[in-house]
Amino acid sequence: MPELPEVETVRRGLAQRILGERVREVEFARADLRRPMPVAAIRALRGRRCTACDRRSKYLLIRFDGVGEPVVIVHLGMSGRVFVEDVHGRSLPPWRPHEHWRMRLGDRLVRYVDPRRFGALDLVDAEGLASHPLLASLGPEPLGPEFDAEYLFARTRGRKVAIKQLLMDAHVVVGVGNIYASESCFRAGVRPSRAAGRLTRADCVKLVDAARHVLERSIRAGGTTLRDYVGVAEDSGWFQRELAVYGRAGEPCRVCGATIRHAVMGQRATYWCPRCQR
DNA sequence: CAACCCACCTGACTGC
DNA sequence: TGCAGTCAGGTGGGTT
């Protein structure tokens, strides 16, 4: 599930629930996801107060007070979910299937569930955050001021890769996952297979606008399901209804009626309308 | 450096 | 119903 809008939704849910709370318990069901987790160091957060829940790209950054101002870095990978539940004085509930770690802050239990274990959990001091290996070489945020048409135009010059693949390159811009890459190209009227270097300035204007639009719209939609949020990833409702091309191969384009096409590009499923996108 | 390919892991779905 | 095969929304690392 987790593309940027989902991660942003999780971030907001976490902020709402754990900001200002102190870490009371930390438990691990195992010591590794894709890579080992810093189990001891994260256990040692007990007593620290959560000061912020931020996001950089698809990484959640949970900040704490005290020496070094530690930051917990969470990535949801392909199948990760975060649940927040009230626990009050009760003892903690049994582990869910594929729940790998949990952290109790105040009366809130944050539970990390990730069947495929492509996610990540790490810890770094605030000072070392920007140079953390996972974050150091990331491109600009798609919703930030740095990602504009001129920037995209410059970054596409001389590039032969398909524009859809380039949009998914986190060195260029973060947070545009496979679904939103297809959706953005559709909204911009750009064929996803087009060589990035052949985009015009006008195409770049449209693409930047389109990427922003689909991401913002999804965040807003996700945000509406946030109230009394338990776990993000209610991917049933808004998610499916809003998609213009993704997963719609063989179905009619909602704009022109042409048949939506599908191909694998860079090993990822790609969808487009052969009439609307050139 | 760019382009390409693979690995990581499990669940859901398809077709026989 | 069972089983093999296929696919999945992400990212890092290695090779050409």
Q: How much is the pLDDT for A238?
A: 45
Q: Over the stretch A93-152, which tens digit does the pLDDT of each residue have? A: 999 989 999 999 999 999 999 998 999 999 999 999 999 989 988 999 999 999 999 999
Q: How much is the pLDDT for A236?
A: 38
Distance A249 CA to C5 C1' (A): 21
Q: Over the stretch A5-14, which tens digit does the pLDDT of each residue have? A: 889 989 999 9
Distance A38 CA to C13 C1' (A): 21
Give the whole-angstrom CA distance, residue A234 versus residue A162. 31
Q: Over the stretch A27-79, which tens digit does the pLDDT of each residue have? A: 999 999 988 899 999 999 999 999 999 999 999 999 999 999 999 999 999 88
Q: Over the stretch A193-242, which tens digit does the pLDDT of each residue have? A: 999 999 999 999 999 999 999 999 888 887 444 333 344 444 333 455 57
Q: How much is the pLDDT for A65?
A: 98
Which bases of chain C are under 7 A from a protein CB atom?
7-13
pLDDT(A267) > 90? no
| Comparison of pLDDT for A268 and A66, the residue scoring more | A66
Q: Over the stretch A148-196, which tens digit does the pLDDT of each residue have? A: 999 999 999 999 999 999 999 999 999 998 999 999 999 999 999 999 9
Q: How confident is the model at residue A1 (pLDDT cuts 50, 70, 90)?
A: low
The domains located in chain A, with CATH, are: 4-128 (3.20.190.10), 149-272 (1.10.8.50)
Q: From the Cβ of A268, is strand C under 7 Å away?
A: yes
Give the whole-angstrom CA distance, residue A114 versus residue A117. 5
Q: Which nucleotide is nearest to A178 (CA to C1')?
A: C9
Q: How much is the pLDDT for A206?
A: 96
pTM comes to: 0.92
Q: Which nucleotide is nearest to A78 (CA to C1')?
A: C10
- Report residue A256: phi and psi, to 5°: -120, -10
Nearest CA to the C1' of B9 belongs to which residue? A116
Sign of the four-CA dihedral A35, A6, A193, A243: positive
